[in-house]
């Protein structure tokens, strides 16, 4: 008999988090984020347990697949997941065991929202002079993603060797729920949503998305709503990101815009994110596996450390446990404090501190703030 899912029982304690290191810089930034999380766990006596499992190229070697079925089961049972970046472009075809753990877990656990904050921090160099603080709310389970848009098979196919077709899926269900997520988030922030689309060209699909968003917007009279075309939005963000609060958009536009916003905030190494659904959440850095810097102890773990703080915030709401929210806030504050010191930064931010030492510095700061 299998255990009942703890994820279906929000009062369950202690919490069990599944930790999947992934590929490239994943096996470096994941232990770094875990070190910080374990520190706050010990100090605040949160009694969370961390269960490691293998995905990616290591799992391909040991289990013949990059996403073993046992890991999917563990993810379903876990209270939360921490996923390092994965090199899914280097995986073999699905028939030979290559499954993108990121896309597959988002789909299987119905993690429909990808929350991607971007904000400037004091004295971290940015290509622009103005400071800003925005959050991109990206739909995560449909759009132009070939591995997500079909019940069976892939959304990309090739009728002839010289003709390739990709499908883009937009549903009313998916659009309503991501819109609600964005408007709810705006209520906790500066009460403004900017919806980004391309309905002038994708009249039917983005037309449906916009129709649903407008219906939801009408329910939130206390939240200002504006609409921008994706092409204009990329320019507006660079010109002046200050007016934006919550940016709501479809899957691929959100992926691209969040890299842009992240870079404006100082770099991809700072990009935290959370994938969430009704019953599950997965902390995951915005960036990929960065093979060019893997194995050198130079990767910036801020992205995944910040993502775990977001996961704690989600768990705090789900389990109505303010200690978890406090833990997330302490991690954020410790990260901010360490990042303000140029000598403690990793090379991507102009410093020469290694991944491990950076994580030690954040963990030390966590101890200082918590005691």
**Positions that interact with ligand ATP (CB under 6 A):** 25, 29, 268-269, 287-293, 299-300, 303, 348
Tokens matching residue 78? 């876990």
Q: In 3D, which of 297, 327, 289 has the Cα closest to residue 44?
A: 327
Q: Which of 23, 259, 321, 360 is catalytic?
A: 259
Q: Which residues of 251-269 are buried (b: 16+ CB within 10 A; e: fewer)?
A: bebbbebbbbbbbbbbbbb
Distance of closest approach, residue 293 Cβ to ligand ATP, in angstroms: 5
* Residue 158 to residues 153, 167, 187, 332, Cα–Cα distance (Å): 13, 12, 45, 46
Distance of closest approach, residue 287 Cβ to ligand ATP, in angstroms: 3
How many Å apart are CA 321 and CA 338, to the nearest integer?
27
**259 catalytic residue (yes or no):** yes
Tell me how far the alpha carbon of residue 255 is from its chain's centroid.
10
Distance of closest approach, residue 302 Cβ to ligand ATP, in angstroms: 7
Q: 3-class DSSP state for residue 138?
A: strand
Q: Which of 8, 231, 240, 296 is catalytic?
A: 231
Of residues 7 and 290, the one with the C-beta less far from ligand ATP: 290
Of residues 88 and 318, the one with the C-beta less far from ligand ATP: 88
**255 catalytic residue (yes or no):** yes
**107 catalytic residue (yes or no):** no
Distance of closest approach, residue 262 Cβ to ligand ATP, in angstroms: 9
Distance of closest approach, residue 132 Cβ to ligand ATP, in angstroms: 21
Of residues 33 and 193, the one with the C-beta less far from ligand ATP: 33
How many Å apart are CA 162 and CA 120, to the nearest integer?
45
Q: 3-class DSSP state for residue 333?
A: helix
Of residues 87 and 195, the one with the C-beta less far from ligand ATP: 87
Residue nearest to ligand ATP (CB): 288
**364 catalytic residue (yes or no):** no
Of residues 100 and 194, the one with the C-beta less far from ligand ATP: 100
Place of tokens 């770094």: 32
How many Å apart are CA 160 and CA 189, to the nearest integer?
50
**176 catalytic residue (yes or no):** no
Tokens matching residue 192? 């403004």
DSSP lists the bridge partners of residue 53 as 20
Q: Categorise residue 11: left if φ over 0, alpha if ψ from -120 to 50, beta otherwise.
A: alpha
CB of 67 closer than 8 Å to CB of 104: yes
Q: Which of 91, 107, 145, 206 is catalytic?
A: 145
Of residues 42 and 336, the one with the C-beta less far from ligand ATP: 336
Distance of closest approach, residue 168 Cβ to ligand ATP, in angstroms: 20
Q: What is the DSSP letter of 8?
A: G
Q: Which of 90, 110, 133, 198 is catalytic?
A: 198
Neighbours of 100 (CB within 10 A): 22
Distance of closest approach, residue 86 Cβ to ligand ATP, in angstroms: 7
Residue 357 CB partners (closer than 8 Å, separation 6+): 344
CB of 260 closer than 8 Å to CB of 234: yes
Q: Which of 255, 321, 360, 365 is catalytic?
A: 255
Of residues 86 and 113, the one with the C-beta less far from ligand ATP: 86
Residue positions annotated with a catalytic role: 145, 198, 231, 255, 259
């Amino acid at each position: 008999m299998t255990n009942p899912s703890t994820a279906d029982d929000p009062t369950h304690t202690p919490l069990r988090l599944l930790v999947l290191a992934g590929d490239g810089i994943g096996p470096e930034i994941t232990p770094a984020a875990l070190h910080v999380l374990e520190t706050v766990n010990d100090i605040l006596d949160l009694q969370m347990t961390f269960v490691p499992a293998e995905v990616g190229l290591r799992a391909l070697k040991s289990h013949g697949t990059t996403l073993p079925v046992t890991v999917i089961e563990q993810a379903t049972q876990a209270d939360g997941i921490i996923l390092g970046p994965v090199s899914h472009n280097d995986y073999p075809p699905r028939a030979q065991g290559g499954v993108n753990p990121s896309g597959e877990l988002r789909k299987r656990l119905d993690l429909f929202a990808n929350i991607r904050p971007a904000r400037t921090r004091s004295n971290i160099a940015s290509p622009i002079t103005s400071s800003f603080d925005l959050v991109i709310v990206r739909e995560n389970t449909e759009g132009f993603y070939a591995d997500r848009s079909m019940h069976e098979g892939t959304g990309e196919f090739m009728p002839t060797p010289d003709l390739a077709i990709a499908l883009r899926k937009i549903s009313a269900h998916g659009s309503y729920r991501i819109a609600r997520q964005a408007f709810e988030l705006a209520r906790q922030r500066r009460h403004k949503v900017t919806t980004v689309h391309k309905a002038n060209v994708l009249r039917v699909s983005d037309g449906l998305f916009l129709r649903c968003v407008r219906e939801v917007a009408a329910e939130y009279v206390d939240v200002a709503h504006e609409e921008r075309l994706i092409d204009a939005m990329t320019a507006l963000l660079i010109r002046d990101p200050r007016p934006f609060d919550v940016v709501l958009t479809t899957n691929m536009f959100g992926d691209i815009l969040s890299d842009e916003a992240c870079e404006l905030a100082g770099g991809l190494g700072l990009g935290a994110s959370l994938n969430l659904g009704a019953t599950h959440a997965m902390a995951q850095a915005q960036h990929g596996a960065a093979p060019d810097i893997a194995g050198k102890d130079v990767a910036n773990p801020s992205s995944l450390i910040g993502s775990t703080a977001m996961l704690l915030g989600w768990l705090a709401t789900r389990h109505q446990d303010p200690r978890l929210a406090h833990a997330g806030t302490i991690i954020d504050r410790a990260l901010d404090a360490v990042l303000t010191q140029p000598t403690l930064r990793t090379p991507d931010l102009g410093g020469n501190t290694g991944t491990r030492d950076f994580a030690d510095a954040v963990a030390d700061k966590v101890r200082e703030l918590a005691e």
